[in-house]
Chains A and B, each alone.
Chain A
Amino acid sequence: MSELQALIDEARALGEGGVPRPGPAEAEVSRVMEICNACRYCEGFCAVFPAMTRRLAFAAADVHYLANLCHNCGACLHACQYAPPHEFGVNVPQAMARVRVRTYAAHAWPAAFGSAYARNGLVVALALAAGLALFLALALVRHGSWWGAPAQGSFYAIFPHGLMVSMFLPVFAFAVFALGVGVRRFWRGAPPGRVEGPALAEATHDALRLKYLDGGHGEGCHNEDDRWTQSRRWFHHLTFHGFLLCFASTSVATVYHYGFGWVAPYGWASLPKLLGVAGGLGLIVGPAGLAWLRLRRHPAHGDAAQAPMDAGFLALLFIVSATGLLLALLRQTPALPLLLCAHLGAVMAFFLTMPYGKFAHGVYRGAALLKWAVEKRLPTNLRLGGE
């Protein structure tokens, strides 16, 4: 990981709009893409290969773009005539995965925080511990105990609404800003052209549907072997759309609070609760399923070194949703203060690590999909014969 550190140091020096200097990971993608570009059998699987065919050489910016366009579905690995044990040793998903983590680290803002990717499992664990400690301490100060129900099971009796907003809002705003800075630099590394409505619509559709986990024929992607399965796509849908529902729940609750003066807790039939419970269930089943699939994953898929990052992120999502749902169920019990501390601590850890953990993959993937949607609409200047 000293290589990753060098990348981060360099990114810090580069400042705005830089493209990370290629290291061995980028060189490997470049090597592999030159083999793939001479073969092209996998063109039907996803966007990576059609994007590749628009190029003859693969500079660092192209490599980072293609790496983030790759969804690690495994289709091109199992279909590859040049995969190990072939001497060409082509493993596109693995090469791409190794570059992706460098994309996140190199574009992290502030640059020094990119080093969080070097030991991401540890970072997530520390963030969680810090979040828990913070709220446990606060609860002691404000409530005097971690056990015992306040009146009507009100959270605000323990942590007033204003206090929570003043803690979460700046952290969340910072996370969004930091990710924004990073993805802006990523975009500027190789700007494809003007973004227009149809491209934006297509990229949104492809991201929300996880189009490139469908194998090109709609039958899904690979997990433990060369059989197609929809399981990863469905568990990811549950995770991602669960996350969106939870976000919607919080947004609606905010409108209720400030717009209408309707103060939580809300009833089971209320919109924030319905959205939150549905999203929370998705965020329990989804990450659990993804973690289970990750354990059964073919060893040649992706980058084994990133397993702690993936596991940390999934575990954090699971803890956030599990504590959230428990809180809704056990609000009237003496466990409320403890559960509230656990939930808020986990949410704080999630917000803190958003720009410095696996969450970033969604942002860069989305940007890469948008780049592709823009790029594919432009004419190519290559005329490779046969056309």
Chain B
Amino acid sequence: MSILLDRPDVLVIGGGNAALCAALVAREGGASVLLLEAATPAWRGGNSMHTRNIRCMHDAPQDVLTEAYPEEEFWQDLRKVTAGRTDEALARLVIRESHHVRGWMRRHGVRFQPSLSGTLHLSRTNAFFMGGGKALVNAYYRSAQDMGVQVRYEAPVRRLELDGSRFVAAVLDSGERITARTCVVASGGFESNLGWLREAWGRNERGEWPAEQFLIRGTRYNQGVLLRDLLDQGADAIGDATQAHMVAIDARAPLYDGGICTRVDAVSLGIMVNREGQRFYDEGEDFWPKRYAIWGRLVALQPGQVGHSIIDAKAVGRFMPPVFRGEQADTLEALARQLKLPTQPFLETVRAFNAACRPGRFDHAVLDDCVTEGLTPPKTHWARPIDTPPFFGYTLRPGVTFTYLGVRVDERARVHFGGEPSPNLLAAGEVMAGNVLGQGYTAGVGMTIGTVFGRIAGAQALQALKEARSDHRLVPAGTASMAETSDV
């Protein structure tokens, strides 16, 4: 079967979750599959290696998933976080398919575990991968190897050769040209491309280039090369280039691949101030897991694209330990100095906040009645005076997880050009996630989209092969069709 390398039935571009799902499904259907991963083996898997769970609908408890998470609730959650910027038909397709993907995932070696400590709120909605996303990626690569999917590492694709909307060949950075009957593009968003982020976010009213302060939570390989190539060649775009899954992460995080551990979960237990020492949003609006994904963007809109999460000793031991220790001081003045905040405005902010806190029964596990009164912006839950030393401060910056600008696809993952689907060019994963996620985020939905559309793209690749073959039967036997059949 490995003789097919020169011209595979299915060429998969990308090496993360969506790419692997597409490759495995296509291979299960008997197609010869070549997968091109831009990264080295150590860095394979794109952002998937940083993930930890998949959001799944279910009408009754399913192994690691508790209770029920019906389609309608999932849809309402998605509609809420995207503020309606989603395609309902595609979103519902993703949701319904999420119901039964896990058996297939298990067959390919993925193992699930009950939700991790500190994430019990997700035990109903999200199935956690045992060992996280890299374990999942490893399992899929093992399965791909066992099934005879050909994998090439360090094989970044520079551009696609199209005939109208029909895929003809992929041209690698090395100049090598690879033809295939069908192609699945699952090469991620453009979040790793700092120049593109800078251009997309532009210059703000303060004359700053906000994206210059962004950190990338995931892979350095998602440069958006194929996304740009496809858009340049007339693929229909979806989404806004500034929309992304963005979290406020520790400013000391590495530029790439900081992953989960750079997040700081202290925000809802204290206050968040900007560079000027001013609060700018209700830290207690909702449970942190429902709000963590808005703070990246909120911080991006602040001067200097920086925020400081301030807590006191009462909060210690009540949030997931961050990877970097916060600044610690016995007085608020000292903390201000350490965080390079203007002392007087900062002290005034804390004083006003403390004075506005109404007595209540603090309970971080519920939406409690500890609120501020007469304060703008208010803190509507878990508001307790910041008065118990030592005080701690964490400096946060926007952390981009993945971007939502993508190519428009239909329910068969076919890339659209001028409103018409390509016969053999399919897309899955981040490169088309914007069809479902116009903005906002809810935990685990990226993996749902990648898994479902990866599998759809694999199945559609098989379908496209079948259609191409039945077309060929009408043609008298010739060299082209000889080559076709000799491949199988």
Residues in A lying within 8 Å of B, measured CB to CB? 34-35, 37-45, 50, 53, 56, 75-76, 78-82, 84-88, 216-217, 219, 226-227, 381-387
- A35, A38, A80: most-surrounded residue (chain B CB, <10 A): A38
| Known contacts A38-B260, A78-B138; A384/B120 CB under 8 A | no
| Known contacts A79-B138, A81-B133; A35/B120 CB under 8 A | no
Q: How far is the CA of A381 from the CA of B316 in the complex (A)?
A: 11
List chain A residues, Cβ under 8 A from B120. 386-387
| Known contacts A39-B261, A41-B131; A387/B323 CB under 8 A | no
Report yes or no: B134 in contact with A43, Cβ–Cβ below 8 A: no
Please tell me which stretch of B110-118, B350-358, B401-409 contacts chain A, meaning at least 4 of its Cβ atoms lie within 8 angstroms of it: B110-118
Report yes or no: A44 in contact with B130, Cβ–Cβ below 8 A: yes
Q: Please, could you name 27 A-B residue pairs with CB atoms under 8 Å apart, sorted by A?
A: A34-B321, A34-B323, A37-B321, A38-B260, A38-B263, A38-B320, A39-B259, A41-B116, A41-B129, A41-B133, A50-B117, A75-B131, A79-B135, A79-B138, A81-B132, A81-B133, A81-B134, A226-B142, A382-B318, A384-B118, A384-B318, A384-B321, A385-B320, A385-B365, A386-B120, A386-B288, A386-B289
List chain B residues, Cβ under 8 A from A387. 117-118, 120, 365
List chain B residues, Cβ under 8 A from A86. 257
List chain B residues, Cβ under 8 A from A43. 113, 116-117
Report yes or no: A386 in contact with B138, Cβ–Cβ below 8 A: no
Q: How far is the CA of A38 from the CA of B132 in the complex (A)?
A: 13
A78 to chain B, nearest CB (A): 6
Q: How far is the CA of A323 from the CA of B116 in the complex (A)?
A: 50
Report yes or no: B142 in contact with A385, Cβ–Cβ below 8 A: no
| Known contacts A34-B321, A35-B323, A227-B142; A386/B119 CB under 8 A | yes
Q: How far is the CA of A40 from the CA of B319 in the complex (A)?
A: 13
Starting from the known contacts A41-B135, A385-B365, 17 additional A-B residue pairs (CB-CB under 8 Å) come to A37-B321, A38-B261, A40-B118, A40-B320, A41-B116, A41-B132, A45-B131, A75-B135, A79-B132, A81-B49, A81-B259, A85-B43, A383-B318, A383-B364, A384-B317, A385-B320, A386-B122
List chain B residues, Cβ under 8 A from A56. 316-317, 321
List chain A residues, Cβ under 8 A from B43. 85
List chain B residues, Cβ under 8 A from A216. 111, 113, 130
B320 interface neighbour in A45, A87, A226, A384, Cβ under 8 Å: A384
Report yes or no: B130 in contact with A45, Cβ–Cβ below 8 A: yes
Report yes or no: B130 in contact with A217, Cβ–Cβ below 8 A: yes
Q: Does B254 contact A (CB under 8 A)?
A: yes
Q: Does B212 contact A (CB under 8 A)?
A: no
Report yes or no: A44 in contact with B113, Cβ–Cβ below 8 A: yes
A79 interface neighbour in B131, B257, B265, B365, Cβ under 8 Å: B131
Q: How far is the CA of A43 from the CA of B43 in the complex (A)?
A: 22
Q: How far is the CA of A82 from the CA of B365 in the complex (A)?
A: 31
List chain B residues, Cβ under 8 A from A80. 134
Report yes or no: B321 in contact with A42, Cβ–Cβ below 8 A: no
